Structures are given as C-alpha cells and as structure tokens.
C-alpha cells in the first residue's frame, strides 16, 4: 500500500445533482484543496493544506492528514459521514456509578 493512501476514502458531496467524490489519498486531497475558492480559505483550510503538505514530505502520516482533511470537509458541509476513521477505536461503555 502506498504510504500516502488513506485507509478509507473521504466521501464528499457538493450538493444535489453533483456526483459523490471519493478522495482516496493525500495527493487527491491536496489537489482538492488547491482548487478551493480563495475567498473561502480560512484557518481550517490552512490546517488541512499544511497537514497534507506535511504528509507529502513524510513529516506526518496519511491518516493524520486524512483526519484534518475530513475535518475541513465536515466544517464546509461537504463531508458525507461514513462513520469513524478506521484508526479510531470503538468507544468504551460508560462505567457504572459506584454505590456508596
């Protein structure tokens, strides 16, 4: 497996009538971000861009870049939620309160 490949794709939708896009690796995420409108580039965009650039330079893992890119997609309303990242473990059940 390519070190820049995501374990699962980030699924995006630009709205009704547009096909679902699957971003499968860091290079695709970086290309998507570079096409993002300049007037809509804020701190979350810059964070995702920096993370993808760091992954390309082997300074960060692809999955860390994926998390940042998925966060950007969620905040911009593009993300189609496919559940937790494959690296996120299932939440533990809450412990029961102790009887005193």
Confidence of residue 16 (pLDDT cuts 50, 70, 90): confident
For 28, the enclosing helix (H) or strand (E) is: helix 26-34
Task: Give the model confidence (pLDDT) of 56-84 as tens digits.
Answer: 999 999 999 999 999 999 999 999 975 55
User: Does 81 fall in a domain?
Assistant: no
User: Does 98 fall in a domain?
Assistant: no
User: Does 20 fall in a domain?
Assistant: yes
Confidence of residue 89 (pLDDT cuts 50, 70, 90): very low
d(CA 65, CA 30): 10
Domain membership of residue 14 as a residue range:
5-75
User: Does 95 fall in a domain?
Assistant: no
Residue 93: is its pLDDT beyond 90? no
In this structure, of 69-78, 80-89, 90-99, the range with the lowest mean pLDDT score is 90-99
Beta pairing class for 21-25 and 5-12: antiparallel
How many domains in the chain?
1
């Amino acid at each position: 497996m390519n070190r820049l490949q995501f374990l699962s794709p980030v699924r995006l939708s630009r709205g009704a009538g547009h096909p679902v896009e699957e971003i499968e690796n860091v290079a695709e995420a970086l290309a998507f971000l570079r096409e993002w409108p300049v007037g809509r580039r804020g701190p979350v965009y810059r964070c995702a861009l920096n993370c993808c650039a760091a992954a390309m330079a082997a300074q960060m893992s692809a999955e860390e870049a994926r998390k940042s890119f998925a966060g950007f997609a969620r905040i911009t309303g593009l993300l189609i939620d496919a559940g937790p990242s494959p690296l996120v473990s299932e939440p533990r059940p809450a412990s029961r309160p102790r009887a005193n």
